[in-house]
Structure 1
Amino acid sequence: MVRKTPASVLRSRAAAGFVITVLLTSFVAATYGFGFYLFAQIVTDMRKDLGFGYTVVGTVTAAGQLGFLLFALLGTWLSTRVGGGQVTIGSAALCGLCLVLVPLTDSILVIGILLTIMGGTAASVYVPLVEIVGRVIDYEHRGKALGLISSGTSYGVFVNSLLVPSFVGSGNWRGLWYSVGLGTLMVTGVAAFTFLRLGLFRSRSATAEDSSGAAEDRPAARDDSARAGWRMVLVRWVVIVWIMKFLNGFACMPFQNYLSPYLREGLGFDIGFAAQVWGTIGVIGMLAGFAVGWLSDRIGVRTSMLLCYGMFFVSAMLLVLAPVGYLPMVSGVLFALAFYPIYGLVPAYVSKSASGAAATVIFGVTNVTQGLGGIVGNYTAGFLKTLTGDFMWYYVVIAATTVVLGVLTMRLPREGSPESAVGPGSTSSRTGKDLAHA
């Protein structure tokens, strides 16, 4: 009898962890795949129907990036006050509501506002993930869980690719917005019920996970406040992570945004080959996050980061030194193997090194620095194209940036070590083996 109880608890925790991972992956798929990228896929059809120009398209896209930055800050602030579970569910519900509202209007101004809000929800739904995963997923499984969640974008884009032809082909782009919006709201309802059952709407100090061994007293709970969270993040490795996320946005986002124009305009490949490269990136991205996350749970997050930055470097250099034949396809494969996992490895490192409000604040700020890096990177890439007449030079910059990222990764303390511990009751001072049996 005594031996069966821990086994049943572990099975129950594993089941809860699996369900939460699937739900969080669906949230990322909805807010990024639908809220962030669907407009770009059907903008041609919406333009024909509503009569707006590409200046408006550029303005709306920029507004979405601004919304991402603002909601990253707002999500961080709210998560440390009302709770990560509430912010995640609220963000997903807001995204679903905006998706449903888009086809109800012919005003591009209203649509632009809705798309800006949806761009923001992509950030705010992501900010509390580290806190939620830290509460539900065991230490030794967080890498693969966050790796899968980070691949949610590719699942959303894949669903888009299945739905767009049938809806747009019949001239029913409005029906597409309704479908993905109602689907998002249904999943959010299921998730809200699940979060309620698992106690994720309660404060961390109120859950059984944090009371194992001994109950926390009120001063300890107060120490997990937002103010304490901001104080505890000002340590060396946290600043390194913020810089790395800025450089991730600076290098990775322009790599993706300018890949197709570079292949077609700079290297002379036809649209068919460019589409094959993009299709390959999408398919690999659906599996890469989980695979590299699984690997990180075994060889370490830092080592996995170095592996990803190594693939980034080779991918960029192939486009600089040997962009001939099928080598750009090889470059695309390496990019996909690195791009999607890296967005899960950073939160995995944070979740294994920090806890409570500190973890939320650290990860929230990383979303802001990543967004800023993406803005600076996209501008720099466009400037270099105008200055030199070739996209190639920015891929040289990307390759150099990945070297810097590799050096910064090696300066991080090992996740789970006492040197990386941040936050009240942080589990990072314990080893993975200890945590597995905690």
Structure 2
Amino acid sequence: MTVCPEPVSFRHKIGDVLLLSLLFLLGFLARFVFVPLMPLLEGELRMGHAQAGSLFLWMAVGFVSGQIISGFLSSRIHHRGTLILSGLSVGGVLIFTPWAHSLALLKLLLTALGLAAGMHLPSAVATLAASVSRRDWGKAMGLHQTAPSLGMVLGPLLVEGALAWMSWRVLVVTLGALSAGAGILYAWKGGSGAFPGRRPDIASLGDVLRLPGFWIIVVLFGAGIGAAVGVYSMLPLFLVHEKGWAPGPANILLGLSRLPGLLLTFLGGWLADRLGIRITMGSALILSGLALVGMIPAQGRLLVVLVFLQPALITLFFAPAFAALSQAVPPVRRSIATSFGPPLAFVIGGGLFPFLIGRFGDLGAFSTGLLGAGAYVAAVSALLPLLKFHPSADAEGC
């Protein structure tokens, strides 16, 4: 019978942590490679901006569904099996996606892609928490969580470099093959996660959903994800159609602008320890929202500065936000809250944000969409004084 593993040092688990980080990175690239490709896809599939934004909404719905069913899967095939299945499924779906010649089929495949990628995170976090000693959680989780920021940098640069040598279809198929290969590699070499997950407890979920603090966190997280991921998804279209940039320079700017965020990943936690969780979260939301609004009239160097500044500012939000989520619910309900809170918020920030910005773009008003997004991101900080914390406790293992 498989039992919960004994946590060991980060040094002894570095190989598995790197493999999990690779799976996470490829799953992220699989979804967000379509951001720099979107100006090209709009022309090829004759999509409007709202239809382009709706693709990210469907991926977000799939991603949330994948995170929810991950608990049921891991209780049957263990976390290791779920991680392998996620990598293989991402690869398989991605290989077929370039051959979708209708918007309806593309939506279906991207929903499936989101679902496949969504299965990874709950099992990866559970595997790292159970396999690595508590004193090394920061190293293990920090390395794993660099994947989204790194993916945002690599995605646009990869597209610009690869399209000089291959078609976008070949690029997407190549990413699919790499993801499937990473799943096979983890099946061969990855030893962590060979224990079952806990099935989602519907009664406990009901207790969490009745907590006002949980919903405040979901709204705050939705704004943060919208400022980070939702805006990122539509920024190339804004730069091309509203600011007159060519797709190549727009994608290069998009990728390079995420480098400061990659470097500032841990600064948000440091600031939260010194200034407090609420002050750090609120400052990041307000300043990032103002930077979004500032992009509307900006031109030239000022626009470039704001495109770099805005994602760096919102990066400071997430470390204290995860800490706030852990403290907003009783400790016994923490795992349920972290399983359902960020996925629900992702539908808002990663799905509705790009869809609504695209809708305004179809009306010839990308600037109005960004204005609404920036104002919303800044305004939700007014909810922070209403957020009440429960005492939290640290624990390691399963």
* Category of TM-score, reference length = shorter chain: 0.7 to 0.9
By how many angstroms is 1:284 displaced?
Answer: 1.9
Q: String of CA shifts for 1:292-329, please: whole Å, max 9, x gaps.
A: 37737x938x9467435413322322454696575544
In the alignment, what sits opposite 1:420? 392
Q: CA offsets per residue over residues 78-126 of structure 1, 9 Å max, x none?
A: 34554433323211220012223335x4644555433221122232222
TM-score (normalizing by structure 1): 0.69
2:196 matched to 1:203? yes
Matches within 5 A, 1:357-396: 359-374=334-349, 375-378=351-354, 390=368, 391-396=370-375
SS at match of 1:169: coil
> Deviation of residue 283 (structure 1)?
1.6
Name the counterpart of 2:259.
283
The Cα offsets for residues 260-281 of structure 1, whole Å up to 9 and x where unpaired, read as 6666777x58569866752442
Please, which of 121, 130, 138 is the counterpart of residue 133 of structure 2? 138
Question: 1:35-434 alignment to 2 at 5 Å?
Answer: 36-43=31-38, 52-55=45-48, 57=52, 60-80=55-75, 82-103=77-98, 105=99, 107-108=101-102, 110-143=105-138, 145-195=140-190, 197-198=191-192, 200-203=193-196, 226-227=200-201, 230=205, 233=208, 238-249=214-225, 251-257=227-233, 259=235, 277-289=253-265, 291-292=266-267, 295=270, 299=273, 303=276, 306-320=279-293, 324=298, 326-340=301-315, 342-343=317-318, 346-347=321-322, 359-374=334-349, 375-378=351-354, 390=368, 391-404=370-383, 406-407=384-385, 411-413=388-390, 419-421=391-393, 427-428=394-395
Shift in Å, 1:175: 2.6
Give the corresponding residue for 2:3. none
Distance apart, 1:54 and its partner CA: 0.7
| Counterpart contact for 1:320–1:392, Cα < 8 Å | yes
2:63 and 2:117 in contact (8 A); partners too? yes
- Which moved further from structure 2: 126-135 or 239-248? 239-248
CA separation of 1:313/1:260 partners in 2, compared to 1, >3 Å: closer, same or farther?
farther
Quote the sequence identity (%). 17
Aligned partners of 1:41, 1:269: CA distance in 2, in Å? Answer: 16
Moved more, 66-75 or 302-311: 302-311
Question: Which shifted more, 246-255 or 146-155?
Answer: 246-255
Using a 3 Å threshold, how does the CA distance of structure 1 residues 244 and 161 change in structure 2: closer, same or farther?
closer
Structure 1: which 5+ runs fail to align? 1-8, 205-223, 414-418, 422-426, 429-434
Question: Is 1:27 aligned to 2:1, yes or no?
Answer: no
How many residue pairs get aligned? The number is 380
Deviations 1:358-407 (A, max 9, x none): 55432221233213322444466567786987343442222112343x43
- Once residues 354 and 18 of structure 1 are traced to their aligned partners in structure 2, the CA distance between those partners, rounded to angstroms, is 32
Q: Which amino acid aligns with 2:337?
A: I
Amino acid paired to 2:377: I
Give, in whole Å, the separation in 1 of the partners of 2:281 and 2:313: 5
Larger RCO: Structure 1 or Structure 2 (Cα < 8 Å, ≥ 6 residues apart)? 2
CA offsets per residue over residues 330-368 of structure 1, 9 Å max, x none? Answer: 444443334346455555666799999955432221233
CA distance 1:372–1:158, change in 2 (3 Å): closer
Distance 2:330 2:137 in 1: 13
Give the structure with higher Rg (CA): 1
1:161-209 Cα distance to aligned partner (Å, 9 max, x none): 45434542244333312322222122222323444x33x12137xxxxx
Opposite residue 15 of structure 2, the aligned amino acid is: V
Distance between the aligned counterparts of 1:173 and 1:265, measured in 2? 21
The CA distance in 1 between the partners of 2:322 and 2:81, in whole Å, is: 19
Q: TM-score scaled to structure 2, two decimals?
A: 0.74
Cα distance 1:91–1:367, how it changes in 2: closer, same or farther (>3 A)?
Answer: farther
Larger CA deviation: 115-124 vs 272-281: 272-281
In structure 2, how many angstroms separate the alpha carbons of the residues matched to 1:412 and 1:345?
13
Q: CA deviation at 1:47?
A: 6.9
Is the CA contact (8 Å cut-off) linking 2:62 and 2:111 kept in structure 1? yes
For structure 2, the 5+ residue unaligned runs are 1-5
Q: What is the aligned-residue RMSD (CA, Å)?
A: 4.2
Displacement after TM superposition at 1:245 (Å):
2.7
Deviates more, 1:164-173 or 1:377-386: 377-386
